[in-house]
Structure 1
Amino acid sequence: MPGPKDLDPFSSPRALLGAELRHAREKKGLSQEALGQKLFVSGTFVGQLEAGTRRLRPDVAPLVDEVLGTNGFFERNCEAANKSRYPEHFAEAAEAEAQATAIRQYAPLLIPGLLQTPAYAHAVNRAYDPTAPEETIDEWVAGRMERTRLLDHPTTPLLWMVLDEAALRRKTGGQEVMAEALRHVADLARRSRVIVQVLPFSAGAHKAMDGSLKLMDFQDAPPLVYFEGPGTGRLEDDPATVAQLRFTFELLTASSLSPEKSLALIETLAQDYTHEEHP
Protein backbone atom coordinates (compact mmCIF):
# COMPACT_ATOMS: atom_id res chain seq x y z
CA MET A 1 0.00 0.00 0.00
CA PRO A 2 1.45 3.42 -0.91
CA GLY A 3 2.41 5.72 1.95
CA PRO A 4 0.83 9.09 2.62
CA LYS A 5 1.50 11.89 0.18
CA ASP A 6 3.94 14.63 1.07
CA LEU A 7 2.21 17.67 2.52
CA ASP A 8 1.42 20.81 0.61
CA PRO A 9 3.22 23.45 2.73
CA PHE A 10 0.63 26.06 1.74
CA SER A 11 -2.43 24.23 3.05
CA SER A 12 -2.32 24.14 6.87
CA PRO A 13 0.74 21.87 7.00
CA ARG A 14 0.69 21.55 10.80
CA ALA A 15 -2.91 20.32 10.79
CA LEU A 16 -2.25 17.95 7.91
CA LEU A 17 0.84 16.53 9.59
CA GLY A 18 -1.17 15.98 12.77
CA ALA A 19 -3.90 14.17 10.85
CA GLU A 20 -1.32 11.93 9.18
CA LEU A 21 0.27 11.20 12.55
CA ARG A 22 -3.09 10.12 13.97
CA HIS A 23 -3.74 7.95 10.92
CA ALA A 24 -0.32 6.27 11.11
CA ARG A 25 -0.58 5.74 14.87
CA GLU A 26 -4.02 4.13 14.66
CA LYS A 27 -2.87 1.98 11.77
CA LYS A 28 -0.14 0.65 14.08
CA GLY A 29 -2.71 0.03 16.81
CA LEU A 30 -0.99 2.33 19.27
CA SER A 31 -2.64 4.65 21.79
CA GLN A 32 -1.32 8.17 22.21
CA GLU A 33 0.26 7.12 25.50
CA ALA A 34 1.93 4.06 23.92
CA LEU A 35 3.35 6.11 21.07
CA GLY A 36 4.52 8.75 23.53
CA GLN A 37 6.47 6.16 25.49
CA LYS A 38 8.30 5.10 22.32
CA LEU A 39 9.06 8.74 21.47
CA PHE A 40 10.05 9.63 25.06
CA VAL A 41 7.27 12.24 25.30
CA SER A 42 3.89 12.25 27.04
CA GLY A 43 0.69 10.93 25.51
CA THR A 44 -0.67 14.44 26.00
CA PHE A 45 2.07 15.80 23.77
CA VAL A 46 1.22 13.26 21.07
CA GLY A 47 -2.40 14.40 21.26
CA GLN A 48 -1.31 18.00 20.83
CA LEU A 49 0.78 17.05 17.80
CA GLU A 50 -2.23 15.34 16.27
CA ALA A 51 -4.43 18.34 16.99
CA GLY A 52 -1.86 20.66 15.43
CA THR A 53 -1.35 22.71 18.58
CA ARG A 54 2.30 21.65 19.00
CA ARG A 55 5.03 21.34 16.42
CA LEU A 56 6.87 18.14 15.58
CA ARG A 57 10.53 18.81 16.30
CA PRO A 58 13.12 17.88 13.64
CA ASP A 59 14.98 15.68 16.14
CA VAL A 60 11.82 13.67 16.89
CA ALA A 61 10.50 13.26 13.33
CA PRO A 62 12.98 10.48 12.32
CA LEU A 63 12.04 8.49 15.43
CA VAL A 64 8.35 8.85 14.54
CA ASP A 65 9.10 7.44 11.08
CA GLU A 66 11.05 4.56 12.63
CA VAL A 67 8.33 3.67 15.16
CA LEU A 68 5.40 4.02 12.73
CA GLY A 69 7.18 2.69 9.63
CA THR A 70 6.33 5.74 7.53
CA ASN A 71 9.44 5.69 5.32
CA GLY A 72 10.76 9.13 6.18
CA PHE A 73 7.41 10.90 5.62
CA PHE A 74 7.46 12.90 8.86
CA GLU A 75 11.13 13.81 8.55
CA ARG A 76 10.55 15.09 4.99
CA ASN A 77 7.51 17.16 5.90
CA CYS A 78 8.59 18.40 9.33
CA GLU A 79 10.39 21.45 7.92
CA ALA A 80 7.38 22.59 5.88
CA ALA A 81 5.06 22.16 8.85
CA ASN A 82 7.33 24.25 11.07
CA LYS A 83 7.70 27.24 8.76
CA SER A 84 6.44 30.39 10.44
CA ARG A 85 6.51 34.16 9.99
CA TYR A 86 6.90 34.57 13.75
CA PRO A 87 10.10 34.58 15.83
CA GLU A 88 11.25 31.10 16.76
CA HIS A 89 10.50 31.51 20.47
CA PHE A 90 6.91 32.59 19.75
CA ALA A 91 6.00 30.65 16.61
CA GLU A 92 4.52 27.61 18.34
CA ALA A 93 2.50 29.75 20.72
CA ALA A 94 1.13 31.91 17.90
CA GLU A 95 0.03 28.85 15.95
CA ALA A 96 -1.57 27.31 19.03
CA GLU A 97 -3.31 30.62 19.71
CA ALA A 98 -4.93 30.46 16.27
CA GLN A 99 -6.60 27.15 17.18
CA ALA A 100 -7.62 27.96 20.74
CA THR A 101 -11.27 28.07 21.78
CA ALA A 102 -10.44 30.31 24.77
CA ILE A 103 -7.50 32.56 25.60
CA ARG A 104 -6.99 34.06 29.05
CA GLN A 105 -4.04 36.40 29.42
CA TYR A 106 -2.46 38.63 32.02
CA ALA A 107 -0.38 41.44 30.54
CA PRO A 108 1.71 43.33 33.10
CA LEU A 109 3.60 45.82 30.91
CA LEU A 110 1.99 46.33 27.51
CA ILE A 111 -1.27 45.90 25.61
CA PRO A 112 -1.34 42.26 24.34
CA GLY A 113 -0.62 41.62 20.67
CA LEU A 114 -4.17 40.51 19.87
CA LEU A 115 -5.49 43.91 21.03
CA GLN A 116 -2.82 46.13 19.47
CA THR A 117 -3.23 48.73 16.74
CA PRO A 118 -0.64 48.92 13.91
CA ALA A 119 0.86 52.12 15.33
CA TYR A 120 1.17 50.66 18.83
CA ALA A 121 2.66 47.43 17.42
CA HIS A 122 5.17 49.48 15.43
CA ALA A 123 6.24 51.37 18.55
CA VAL A 124 6.62 48.13 20.53
CA ASN A 125 8.66 46.40 17.83
CA ARG A 126 10.85 49.45 17.31
CA ALA A 127 11.56 49.47 21.04
CA TYR A 128 12.42 45.75 20.88
CA ASP A 129 15.03 46.40 18.18
CA PRO A 130 16.05 50.07 17.80
CA THR A 131 18.50 49.28 14.96
CA ALA A 132 16.28 47.06 12.80
CA PRO A 133 15.57 48.22 9.23
CA GLU A 134 12.15 49.78 8.75
CA GLU A 135 11.20 46.97 6.34
CA THR A 136 11.86 44.43 9.10
CA ILE A 137 9.71 46.37 11.56
CA ASP A 138 6.92 46.55 8.97
CA GLU A 139 7.14 42.78 8.48
CA TRP A 140 6.88 42.17 12.22
CA VAL A 141 3.91 44.52 12.49
CA ALA A 142 2.20 42.74 9.58
CA GLY A 143 2.66 39.43 11.37
CA ARG A 144 1.17 40.83 14.54
CA MET A 145 -1.81 42.28 12.67
CA GLU A 146 -2.33 38.91 10.99
CA ARG A 147 -2.81 37.42 14.45
CA THR A 148 -5.59 39.90 15.20
CA ARG A 149 -7.71 38.29 12.46
CA LEU A 150 -8.80 35.93 15.23
CA LEU A 151 -11.09 38.78 16.25
CA ASP A 152 -12.93 38.67 12.92
CA HIS A 153 -15.11 35.88 14.31
CA PRO A 154 -17.80 37.42 16.52
CA THR A 155 -17.49 34.96 19.41
CA THR A 156 -14.61 32.49 18.99
CA PRO A 157 -12.16 32.29 20.60
CA LEU A 158 -13.23 33.61 23.98
CA LEU A 159 -10.76 36.34 24.93
CA TRP A 160 -10.37 37.37 28.56
CA MET A 161 -7.62 39.89 29.19
CA VAL A 162 -6.37 41.25 32.50
CA LEU A 163 -4.32 44.38 31.84
CA ASP A 164 -2.12 45.79 34.55
CA GLU A 165 -2.65 49.52 35.02
CA ALA A 166 1.03 49.94 34.11
CA ALA A 167 0.26 48.73 30.56
CA LEU A 168 -2.26 51.56 30.17
CA ARG A 169 -0.07 54.30 31.63
CA ARG A 170 3.23 53.45 29.92
CA LYS A 171 3.35 55.94 27.06
CA THR A 172 4.25 53.66 24.16
CA GLY A 173 4.68 55.49 20.86
CA GLY A 174 3.44 58.81 22.23
CA GLN A 175 0.11 60.16 23.40
CA GLU A 176 -1.64 59.95 20.02
CA VAL A 177 -0.67 56.29 19.63
CA MET A 178 -1.79 55.52 23.18
CA ALA A 179 -5.12 57.30 22.73
CA GLU A 180 -5.83 55.27 19.58
CA ALA A 181 -4.69 52.04 21.23
CA LEU A 182 -6.92 52.48 24.28
CA ARG A 183 -9.92 53.49 22.16
CA HIS A 184 -9.40 50.29 20.18
CA VAL A 185 -9.37 48.17 23.34
CA ALA A 186 -12.48 49.97 24.60
CA ASP A 187 -14.25 49.40 21.28
CA LEU A 188 -13.54 45.66 21.43
CA ALA A 189 -14.87 45.56 24.98
CA ARG A 190 -17.99 47.53 24.09
CA ARG A 191 -18.68 45.15 21.21
CA SER A 192 -18.38 42.25 23.69
CA ARG A 193 -15.58 40.76 21.60
CA VAL A 194 -13.23 40.63 24.58
CA ILE A 195 -13.60 40.69 28.34
CA VAL A 196 -11.16 43.27 29.69
CA GLN A 197 -10.33 43.86 33.33
CA VAL A 198 -7.76 46.29 34.67
CA LEU A 199 -5.60 45.29 37.62
CA PRO A 200 -5.16 48.66 39.36
CA PHE A 201 -2.09 49.83 41.23
CA SER A 202 -4.31 50.00 44.30
CA ALA A 203 -4.60 46.18 44.28
CA GLY A 204 -1.09 46.05 45.67
CA ALA A 205 0.95 42.84 45.60
CA HIS A 206 -0.45 39.91 43.66
CA LYS A 207 0.40 36.35 42.64
CA ALA A 208 1.68 37.15 39.12
CA MET A 209 4.09 39.95 39.94
CA ASP A 210 6.98 38.04 38.38
CA GLY A 211 5.64 37.91 34.82
CA SER A 212 2.94 37.52 32.20
CA LEU A 213 0.93 34.40 31.47
CA LYS A 214 -1.35 33.15 28.71
CA LEU A 215 -3.70 30.19 29.12
CA MET A 216 -5.14 28.51 26.01
CA ASP A 217 -7.93 25.94 25.82
CA PHE A 218 -8.69 23.76 22.79
CA GLN A 219 -11.58 21.67 21.58
CA ASP A 220 -9.64 18.48 20.89
CA ALA A 221 -6.41 18.90 22.86
CA PRO A 222 -5.33 19.55 26.45
CA PRO A 223 -4.82 23.16 27.59
CA LEU A 224 -1.51 24.98 27.34
CA VAL A 225 0.11 27.87 29.16
CA TYR A 226 2.65 30.18 27.58
CA PHE A 227 5.40 31.99 29.48
CA GLU A 228 7.29 34.84 27.84
CA GLY A 229 10.37 36.92 28.59
CA PRO A 230 12.71 39.18 26.59
CA GLY A 231 13.44 37.20 23.42
CA THR A 232 12.30 33.92 24.98
CA GLY A 233 9.10 31.93 25.29
CA ARG A 234 7.96 28.49 26.40
CA LEU A 235 4.79 26.42 26.09
CA GLU A 236 3.90 24.16 29.01
CA ASP A 237 1.32 21.36 29.05
CA ASP A 238 1.96 19.85 32.49
CA PRO A 239 -1.56 19.52 33.99
CA ALA A 240 -0.46 20.57 37.48
CA THR A 241 1.30 23.67 36.15
CA VAL A 242 -1.66 24.62 33.97
CA ALA A 243 -4.06 24.17 36.90
CA GLN A 244 -1.88 26.27 39.20
CA LEU A 245 -1.67 29.12 36.69
CA ARG A 246 -5.39 28.95 35.98
CA PHE A 247 -5.88 29.55 39.71
CA THR A 248 -3.41 32.45 39.46
CA PHE A 249 -5.49 33.99 36.67
CA GLU A 250 -8.66 33.58 38.74
CA LEU A 251 -7.00 35.43 41.63
CA LEU A 252 -6.02 38.22 39.24
CA THR A 253 -9.58 38.63 37.99
CA ALA A 254 -10.80 38.75 41.60
CA SER A 255 -8.35 41.57 42.39
CA SER A 256 -9.12 43.52 39.21
CA LEU A 257 -11.74 46.14 38.51
CA SER A 258 -15.02 44.88 37.10
CA PRO A 259 -15.32 44.94 33.28
CA GLU A 260 -17.58 48.00 33.55
CA LYS A 261 -15.18 49.96 35.78
CA SER A 262 -12.25 48.80 33.69
CA LEU A 263 -13.89 50.11 30.53
CA ALA A 264 -14.56 53.44 32.22
CA LEU A 265 -10.91 53.76 33.26
CA ILE A 266 -9.62 52.83 29.79
CA GLU A 267 -11.89 55.40 28.12
CA THR A 268 -10.91 58.07 30.65
CA LEU A 269 -7.21 57.47 30.00
CA ALA A 270 -7.84 57.55 26.24
CA GLN A 271 -9.43 60.98 26.68
CA ASP A 272 -6.51 62.12 28.82
CA TYR A 273 -4.04 61.06 26.14
CA THR A 274 -6.15 62.73 23.45
CA HIS A 275 -6.13 66.05 25.28
CA GLU A 276 -2.53 65.70 26.47
CA GLU A 277 -3.60 65.80 30.08
CA HIS A 278 -2.15 62.44 31.09
CA PRO A 279 0.31 63.00 33.98
Structure 2
Amino acid sequence: MDLEAEARAIHDFQLQAVPGLFQTKDYARAVLGAGWPPKAEEENSRLLAVRLERQTLLQRKHPPLLWVVIDEGVLRRPVGSAEIMTEQLGRLLEIAAMPFIRLQVLPFAQGAHAAMDGAFKVLDMSNGETVAYAEVPGTGQVITDSDEVSQCALRFGALRSAALPPDESGEFIRQYKEKYENETQ
Protein backbone atom coordinates (compact mmCIF):
# COMPACT_ATOMS: atom_id res chain seq x y z
CA MET A 1 0.00 0.00 0.00
CA ASP A 2 2.78 2.43 0.91
CA LEU A 3 4.68 1.54 -2.26
CA GLU A 4 1.62 2.20 -4.44
CA ALA A 5 1.13 5.59 -2.78
CA GLU A 6 4.71 6.61 -3.59
CA ALA A 7 4.93 5.14 -7.09
CA ARG A 8 5.12 7.18 -10.29
CA ALA A 9 4.12 4.15 -12.36
CA ILE A 10 2.72 0.72 -11.54
CA HIS A 11 2.87 -2.27 -13.89
CA ASP A 12 0.54 -4.96 -12.55
CA PHE A 13 -0.17 -8.51 -13.75
CA GLN A 14 -3.05 -10.44 -12.19
CA LEU A 15 -3.96 -14.08 -12.79
CA GLN A 16 -6.78 -14.75 -10.35
CA ALA A 17 -8.73 -11.61 -9.44
CA VAL A 18 -9.34 -8.02 -10.46
CA PRO A 19 -6.53 -5.84 -9.04
CA GLY A 20 -7.44 -4.46 -5.60
CA LEU A 21 -7.23 -0.86 -6.87
CA PHE A 22 -10.04 -1.63 -9.33
CA GLN A 23 -12.34 -3.80 -7.20
CA THR A 24 -15.92 -2.82 -6.40
CA LYS A 25 -16.98 -3.13 -2.77
CA ASP A 26 -19.09 -6.25 -3.34
CA TYR A 27 -16.40 -7.97 -5.44
CA ALA A 28 -13.75 -7.18 -2.82
CA ARG A 29 -16.01 -8.48 -0.06
CA ALA A 30 -16.51 -11.75 -1.98
CA VAL A 31 -12.75 -12.14 -2.58
CA LEU A 32 -11.91 -11.49 1.06
CA GLY A 33 -14.67 -13.82 2.22
CA ALA A 34 -13.29 -16.68 0.12
CA GLY A 35 -10.05 -16.91 2.11
CA TRP A 36 -9.11 -20.03 4.03
CA PRO A 37 -8.96 -20.41 6.91
CA PRO A 38 -11.84 -17.99 7.30
CA LYS A 39 -11.20 -14.71 9.07
CA ALA A 40 -13.49 -13.14 11.64
CA GLU A 41 -16.08 -10.78 10.16
CA GLU A 42 -14.40 -7.83 11.93
CA GLU A 43 -11.07 -8.65 10.24
CA ASN A 44 -12.71 -8.98 6.81
CA SER A 45 -14.45 -5.63 7.38
CA ARG A 46 -11.12 -4.02 8.29
CA LEU A 47 -9.40 -5.50 5.24
CA LEU A 48 -12.28 -4.33 3.02
CA ALA A 49 -11.99 -0.78 4.36
CA VAL A 50 -8.23 -0.77 3.72
CA ARG A 51 -8.70 -2.11 0.17
CA LEU A 52 -11.29 0.56 -0.64
CA GLU A 53 -9.15 3.28 0.95
CA ARG A 54 -6.27 2.33 -1.39
CA GLN A 55 -8.50 3.29 -4.31
CA THR A 56 -8.34 7.00 -3.38
CA LEU A 57 -5.01 6.81 -5.19
CA LEU A 58 -7.01 6.90 -8.44
CA GLN A 59 -8.61 10.24 -7.49
CA ARG A 60 -5.38 12.09 -6.75
CA LYS A 61 -4.56 15.15 -8.81
CA HIS A 62 -1.48 13.33 -10.13
CA PRO A 63 -2.13 9.58 -9.82
CA PRO A 64 0.53 7.10 -10.84
CA LEU A 65 0.47 5.73 -14.35
CA LEU A 66 -1.06 2.25 -14.23
CA TRP A 67 -0.46 -0.41 -16.86
CA VAL A 68 -2.40 -3.52 -15.93
CA VAL A 69 -2.56 -6.90 -17.66
CA ILE A 70 -5.19 -9.34 -16.42
CA ASP A 71 -5.48 -12.95 -17.39
CA GLU A 72 -8.75 -14.00 -19.04
CA GLY A 73 -9.42 -16.16 -15.98
CA VAL A 74 -10.09 -12.95 -14.02
CA LEU A 75 -13.09 -12.32 -16.29
CA ARG A 76 -14.29 -15.90 -16.49
CA ARG A 77 -14.13 -16.76 -12.79
CA PRO A 78 -17.45 -15.78 -11.18
CA VAL A 79 -16.73 -14.02 -7.91
CA GLY A 80 -19.97 -13.65 -6.00
CA SER A 81 -23.10 -13.41 -8.12
CA ALA A 82 -23.68 -12.52 -11.77
CA GLU A 83 -24.82 -9.08 -10.54
CA ILE A 84 -21.51 -8.57 -8.73
CA MET A 85 -19.58 -9.59 -11.84
CA THR A 86 -21.67 -7.30 -14.07
CA GLU A 87 -20.94 -4.37 -11.76
CA GLN A 88 -17.25 -5.27 -11.51
CA LEU A 89 -16.73 -5.58 -15.26
CA GLY A 90 -18.57 -2.29 -15.76
CA ARG A 91 -16.13 -0.75 -13.30
CA LEU A 92 -13.20 -2.18 -15.27
CA LEU A 93 -14.54 -0.54 -18.42
CA GLU A 94 -14.86 2.81 -16.62
CA ILE A 95 -11.34 2.54 -15.27
CA ALA A 96 -9.92 1.55 -18.65
CA ALA A 97 -11.19 4.87 -20.02
CA MET A 98 -9.13 6.90 -17.51
CA PRO A 99 -6.26 8.70 -19.26
CA PHE A 100 -3.54 7.44 -16.88
CA ILE A 101 -4.57 3.78 -17.10
CA ARG A 102 -3.89 1.11 -19.72
CA LEU A 103 -5.76 -2.16 -19.22
CA GLN A 104 -5.08 -5.25 -21.30
CA VAL A 105 -6.45 -8.78 -21.23
CA LEU A 106 -4.21 -11.78 -21.82
CA PRO A 107 -6.57 -14.29 -23.50
CA PHE A 108 -6.38 -18.02 -22.92
CA ALA A 109 -5.80 -18.42 -26.67
CA GLN A 110 -2.24 -17.11 -26.14
CA GLY A 111 -1.43 -20.32 -24.26
CA ALA A 112 1.53 -20.46 -21.90
CA HIS A 113 3.00 -17.09 -20.98
CA ALA A 114 5.85 -15.46 -19.08
CA ALA A 115 4.10 -15.39 -15.68
CA MET A 116 2.49 -18.79 -15.31
CA ASP A 117 3.93 -18.83 -11.79
CA GLY A 118 1.97 -15.90 -10.37
CA ALA A 119 0.89 -12.31 -10.08
CA PHE A 120 3.36 -9.48 -9.57
CA LYS A 121 3.87 -5.73 -9.85
CA VAL A 122 6.77 -3.55 -10.93
CA LEU A 123 6.71 -0.11 -9.34
CA ASP A 124 8.69 2.88 -10.54
CA MET A 125 9.11 4.94 -7.40
CA SER A 126 9.21 8.73 -7.16
CA ASN A 127 12.81 8.55 -5.90
CA GLY A 128 13.94 6.87 -9.15
CA GLU A 129 14.16 3.38 -7.65
CA THR A 130 12.29 0.45 -9.20
CA VAL A 131 10.98 -2.36 -7.02
CA ALA A 132 8.84 -5.42 -7.61
CA TYR A 133 6.14 -7.00 -5.50
CA ALA A 134 5.26 -10.67 -5.85
CA GLU A 135 2.05 -12.07 -4.46
CA VAL A 136 1.91 -15.36 -2.61
CA PRO A 137 -1.06 -16.85 -0.77
CA GLY A 138 -2.03 -14.60 2.11
CA THR A 139 0.79 -12.08 1.71
CA GLY A 140 3.35 -10.60 -0.66
CA GLN A 141 7.05 -9.97 -0.95
CA VAL A 142 8.83 -6.74 -1.88
CA ILE A 143 11.78 -7.38 -4.19
CA THR A 144 14.57 -4.81 -4.31
CA ASP A 145 17.40 -6.83 -5.88
CA SER A 146 18.08 -5.01 -9.17
CA ASP A 147 18.58 -8.20 -11.19
CA GLU A 148 15.30 -9.72 -9.97
CA VAL A 149 13.44 -6.44 -10.51
CA SER A 150 14.85 -6.25 -14.04
CA GLN A 151 13.63 -9.81 -14.72
CA CYS A 152 10.14 -8.83 -13.51
CA ALA A 153 10.14 -5.78 -15.78
CA LEU A 154 11.15 -7.91 -18.77
CA ARG A 155 8.47 -10.44 -17.87
CA PHE A 156 5.83 -7.69 -17.73
CA GLY A 157 6.93 -6.46 -21.15
CA ALA A 158 6.46 -9.96 -22.56
CA LEU A 159 2.96 -10.17 -21.02
CA ARG A 160 2.02 -6.76 -22.38
CA SER A 161 3.09 -7.73 -25.89
CA ALA A 162 1.15 -11.03 -25.72
CA ALA A 163 -2.04 -9.39 -24.42
CA LEU A 164 -4.78 -7.85 -26.53
CA PRO A 165 -4.35 -4.12 -27.23
CA PRO A 166 -6.29 -1.86 -24.83
CA ASP A 167 -9.19 -1.19 -27.25
CA GLU A 168 -9.63 -4.89 -28.06
CA SER A 169 -9.32 -5.68 -24.35
CA GLY A 170 -12.22 -3.32 -23.67
CA GLU A 171 -14.37 -5.17 -26.18
CA PHE A 172 -13.30 -8.49 -24.68
CA ILE A 173 -14.36 -7.30 -21.20
CA ARG A 174 -17.65 -5.97 -22.61
CA GLN A 175 -18.46 -9.43 -24.03
CA TYR A 176 -18.01 -11.04 -20.60
CA LYS A 177 -20.06 -8.28 -18.99
CA GLU A 178 -22.92 -9.03 -21.41
CA LYS A 179 -22.63 -12.74 -20.57
CA TYR A 180 -23.07 -12.00 -16.85
CA GLU A 181 -25.90 -9.55 -17.58
CA ASN A 182 -27.74 -12.30 -19.49
CA GLU A 183 -27.38 -14.59 -16.47
CA THR A 184 -29.20 -12.05 -14.28
CA GLN A 185 -32.24 -11.93 -16.54
Q: Same fold (TM over 0.5)?
A: yes
Q: Deviations over 1:47-86 (max 9, x none)?
A: xxxxxxxxxxxxxxxxxxxxxxxxxxxxxxxxxxxxxxxx
Structure 1 CA distance, aligned partners of 2:91 and 2:100?
11
Deviation at 1:221, TM superposition (A): 4.2
Report the counterpart of residue 58 of structure 2 in structure 1: 151
How many residues were matched structurally? 184
Equivalent residues of 1:151, 1:193 under 8 A apart: no
Which residue type is aligned with residue 157 of structure 1? P
* Contact 2:15–2:119 (CA under 8 A) maintained in structure 1: yes
Deviations 1:242-262 (A, max 9, x none): 111111100001100000000
- Residue 130 of structure 1 deviates from its aligned partner by 6.2
Distance apart, 1:129 and its partner CA: 4.3
- Structure 1 residue runs without a partner (length 5+): 1-93
Counterparts of 1:175 and 1:112, CA distance in 2: 19
CA RMSD of aligned residues (A): 1.4
Asked if 1:115 is matched to 2:31, the reply is no
Q: Distance in 1 between matches of 2:96 and 2:137?
A: 28
TM-superposed CA distance for 1:268, in Å, is 1.6
Structure with the higher fraction of residues in strand conformation: 2
TM-score (ref. length: structure 1): 0.63
Tell which has more relative contact order, 1 or 2 (C-alpha 8 A, sep 6+).
2
> Which one-letter code corresponds to 1:239 in the other structure?
S
Match for residue 247 of structure 1? Answer: 154
TM-score (norm 2): 0.94
Residue deviations 1:178-207, cap 9 Å, x none? Answer: 111110010011233421000000001111
Residue identity opposite 2:78 in structure 1? K
Q: Which residue of 2 aligns with 1:161?
A: 68
Q: In 1, distance between residues paired with 2:85 and 2:40?
A: 23
Q: Secondary structure at the match of 1:137?
A: helix
Distance 1:115 1:201, change over 3 A: same
Aligned counterpart, 1:101 = 8
Alignment of 1:15-164 (within 5 A): 94-129=1-36, 131-153=38-60, 155-164=62-71
Q: Is there any run of 5+ residues in structure 2 with no aligned partner, and where?
A: none
**Pairwise CA distance, 1:134:** 2.5
Corresponding residue to 1:218 among 101, 121, 125 = 125
2:145 and 2:37 map into 1 onto residues whose CA distance is 36
